[in-house]
Amino acid sequence: MGKTMAITGNIAIAIAMKQINPDVVAAYPITPSTEIVQQFSSYVADGAVDTEYIAVESEHSAMSACIGASAGGGRVMTATSSQGLAFMWEMLYIAAGYRLPIVLVCVNRALSAPINIHCDHSDSMGARDASWIQLYAENAQEAYDNTIQAFRIAEEMDVRLPVMSCLDGFIISHSIENMTILEDEEVRRFIGDYKPLNPLLDLENPATVGAIDLQDYYMEHKRQQHEAMLNAKKVILSVGKEYGKLSGRSYGFFEEYRLDDADVAIVVMSSAAGTVKDIVDEYRSKGIKAGLLKPRVFRPFPAEEIADALKNTKAVAVLDRADSFGASGGPLFPEFRSALYDVPNPPKMINKIFGLGGRDFGPDDVRGVFDELVAIKDTGKIKSLKEYITVRE
Amino acid sequence: MAEPLSIKELAKSEELLVGGHRLCPGCGHSIILRQMLHASEYPLVLAMSTGCLEVCTTIYPYTSWKTPWIHSAFENAAATITGVETMYRALKKKGKIDKDVKFVAVGGDGGTYDIGLQSLSGAFERGHNFVYVCTDNGAYMNTGTQRSSATPFAADTTTSPVGKKIIGKQQERKNLTKIAAAHDIPYAAQASPHNWKDLTMKFRKALEIDGPAFLNVVSPCPRGWRTDASETVNLAKMAVDSCYWPLYEVENGKITINYKPKEKVPIFEWLKVQGRFKHLLKPENEGLVKMFQDKIDRDWEDLQKRAGE
């Protein structure tokens, strides 16, 4: 039943890849995801995996080769960050449009300009409309667990969408944490054999993949992607539960931390949630009913479940580690606010943009947000809907 | 080693690009593709870049392809086919496929000389087992004849128009066959649809190569060249007879010129029948015709020298 190891997030992902043993990996190195492909290359060189590894000349070709390989009829994965994901952008939509169950690990890093190698979510948020399922991890353990589950979700026949498994660059990718690795055999049994669907390499039944789709059919195909995303919801839950039976760690759409009776709550994804949990405990000990909602699944967006989890709160701050410049908030805020629109007596909601380009986000920053939420709860007044924090004025 | 096939033998094989597609009458692409497909004795998987050939043969829910076929974007036919080829190797290793399958990517000059060059170069360097075929009609014909780096000097295109001050495309063509061969791949060649024997033999040779092979095929385009649909094969022949499009191959670095016209057709004969060069008929543009001819002569000389002749 697995073993506990102290490893970085990147190594945890590389180990997951080794255990998954995909048929083809096509990847291009980019900070901070580079270590994943380096480590995986050494597994290939040592014969520890059966994978055919393509060291392509760019991320655009990485996703193009993944599309060709996946359409061929086998299990395919890749990893990237930031500019690499941006360079793949055109192909991300095509992977999803062809309903190919490719798994991509995104080690989150800020987008240029200015160039910056550290963590924020502008890269994967830039791909939020690409019809990829998106999972976000707080730590290396969750990143490992999400990546294994990603295959089961992607390959389910009424989903057949690619999955992006995201973890925070450097903060998680390069920090050593204690975590538990499953046995290889357990992982292989959990993900099972790959079941191809209309594969290109079925020579007896020649498929045309990527036909031109005009006014008469394009919209029906897009509608099917929408339905596949809806189908993904139940699959994500059942896979998360089954994974819990195997590992002792169950997964849902989001984690609720002391949220049940909370008056004030922070919504934050990924590694920053750990810091927020500490401050929730601190405020609880002071008698303030603070709580946290940490989204794990951003696509499909579980709007009803989120509304249900936050409906009794009085004030909520949604923290975005990326901005949608000129919008009413970062990528999370409008969706969370919209999810709560139909709740009777919805909470007052504010948006904070934090941690861009790896800017540190510490306990005092969390205290500041909770103090502001307490003031909003008491006065009912919001002084600023969308605000940058952890920033020089 | 591949043996040449007679036209009777070629005609026996199944048609893999079937009728009903929407390519223009006189389009060079379908002639080239049918010749190649008839010449293969292997099952083929095809990848195509975005372009005329792709859009005209796969209007959903129809397809003209009776062999596995994939298109994903404009600039990545090479990367896409290498993904399929790699999956084939992975599944073959595991005993899930037993047949010998060959992989062919096809791009136009826009998708190959321009936007797809990086992807092609990467695939060559990695040594995948595939044939890349460029059907070169000398401009972005699918979107209305915009210039590419394969567009001939002085040609009138919609983005290198003949104006009051600038007369058509100002630059020479990129020599892509030379660039492909410079990757030291095992096989690179130029071919033309008028010489089916040469084209089919080159394709059969390319399929036998263990590693990347490149075929650059001239593909007259009645719309873009502004020529009569019935003239396609003749125009391809003139391109070769004028030495504008020499038929040659580079096998492991050794250049062989496959055809030498007894008498080089003056390039003016080829230019004057094409609407895209009609401005060159004006006496004041004689200098441009001379520049065009001089470049052909220099290149032909250079090719003969490189071939050790």
User: A158-177: per-residue pLDDT in tens?
Assistant: 999 999 999 999 999 999 99
Identify the bridge partners of residue A153 per DSSP, sorted by sequence position.
none
**By three-state DSSP, how is residue B101 classified?**
coil
Higher pLDDT, A382 or B1: A382
pTM for this entry: 0.98
User: B202-252: per-residue pLDDT in tens?
Assistant: 999 999 999 999 999 999 999 999 999 999 999 999 999 999 999 999 999
Confidence of residue A1 (pLDDT cuts 50, 70, 90): low
Predicted local confidence at residue B2, as pLDDT: 83
Q: What is the CATH number of domain A254-388?
A: 3.40.50.920
Report the mean per-residue pLDDT for chain A. Answer: 98
Residue A210: which of B70, B87, B93 has the nearest Cβ?
A: B70
Q: What is the chain B residue with the closest CA to A58?
A: B119
Q: Residues 60-79, chain B: which have Cβ within 8 Å of A? A: 60-63, 65-73, 75-76, 78-79
Using a CB-CB cut-off of 8 Å, the residues of chain B touching A208 are 58, 63, 65, 69-70
**CA nearest neighbour of B140 among B130, B127, B149, B131:** B149
User: A315-352: per-residue pLDDT in tens?
Assistant: 999 999 999 999 999 999 999 999 999 999 999 999 99
Angle made by CA atoms B49, B51, B53, in degrees to the nearest 5: 95
Q: Give yes or no for residue A305 having a pLDDT over 80.
A: yes
Q: Which two tokens stand for residue A132?
A: 């990829």
Mark residue B216 as left, alpha or beta (left: phi above 0; alpha: psi -120 to 50; beta: remaining). Answer: beta
Phi, psi of A331 (to 5 degrees): -60, -35
Identify the bridge partners of residue B48 per DSSP, sorted by sequence position.
B71, B106
Q: Which CATH architecture has domain B7-306?
A: 3-Layer(aba) Sandwich (3.40)
Confidence of residue A2 (pLDDT cuts 50, 70, 90): confident
> Within 10 A of B75 (CB to CB), how many other CB atoms are there?
25
Calculate the alpha carbon distances from B71 to A70, A209, B84 in Å. Answer: 13, 6, 12
User: B101-148: per-residue pLDDT in tens?
Assistant: 999 999 999 999 999 999 999 999 999 999 999 999 999 999 999 999
Residue with the two structure tokens 């970085």: A8
User: A62-82: per-residue pLDDT in tens?
Assistant: 999 999 999 999 999 999 999
Answer whether B83 sits within 8 Å of A50, measured CB to CB.
Answer: no
User: A5-45: per-residue pLDDT in tens?
Assistant: 999 999 999 999 999 999 999 999 999 999 999 999 999 99
By the 8 A CB rule, do A154 and A192 touch?
no
Higher pLDDT, B3 or A382: A382
**CA nearest neighbour of B246 among B186, B197, B179, B198:** B198
By the 8 A CB rule, do A293 and A224 touch?
no
In chain B, what's the furthest Cα-to-Cα distance?
68
- The rounded distance, in Å, linking the Cα atoms of A362 and A276 is 9
Using a CB-CB cut-off of 8 Å, the residues of chain A touching B86 are 24, 26, 52, 54, 65, 68-69, 72
What is the residue-wise DSSP string for A289-358?
-EEEEEESEEES--HHHHHHHHTT-SEEEEEESS--TTSSSSSHHHHHHHHTTTSSSPPEEEEEE--GGG
The whole-angstrom distance between B217's CA and the closest CA on chain A is 24
The whole-angstrom distance between B76's CA and the closest CA on chain A is 6
Structural domain boundaries in chain A: 3-247, 254-388
Q: Beta B131-136 vs B213-218: how paired, if at all?
A: parallel
- Exposure pattern of A228-254 as b/e (b: 16+ CB <10 Å)? bbebbbebbbebbeebeebbeeebebb
- The rounded distance, in Å, linking the Cα atoms of A355 and A357 is 6
Confidence of residue A130 (pLDDT cuts 50, 70, 90): very high
Report the mean per-residue pLDDT for chain B. Answer: 97
In chain A, the percentage of residues whose pLDDT exceeds 70 is 100
Average pLDDT value for residue range B90-102: 97
Predicted local confidence at residue A163, as pLDDT: 99
- The rounded distance, in Å, linking the Cα atoms of A14 and B202 is 43
Q: What is the CATH number of domain A3-247?
A: 3.40.50.970
Residue A44, class by beta-carbon neighbours within 10 Å (0-12 exposed, 13-18 middle, 19+ buried)? middle
Complex ipTM: 0.97
DSSP strand E in A28-84: where? 52-55, 76-80
Phi, psi of A347 (to 5 degrees): -70, 155
- The rounded distance, in Å, linking the Cα atoms of A184 and A338 is 42
Q: Which two tokens stand for residue A200?
A: 């290109």
B160 has a chain A CB within 8 A of its CB: no
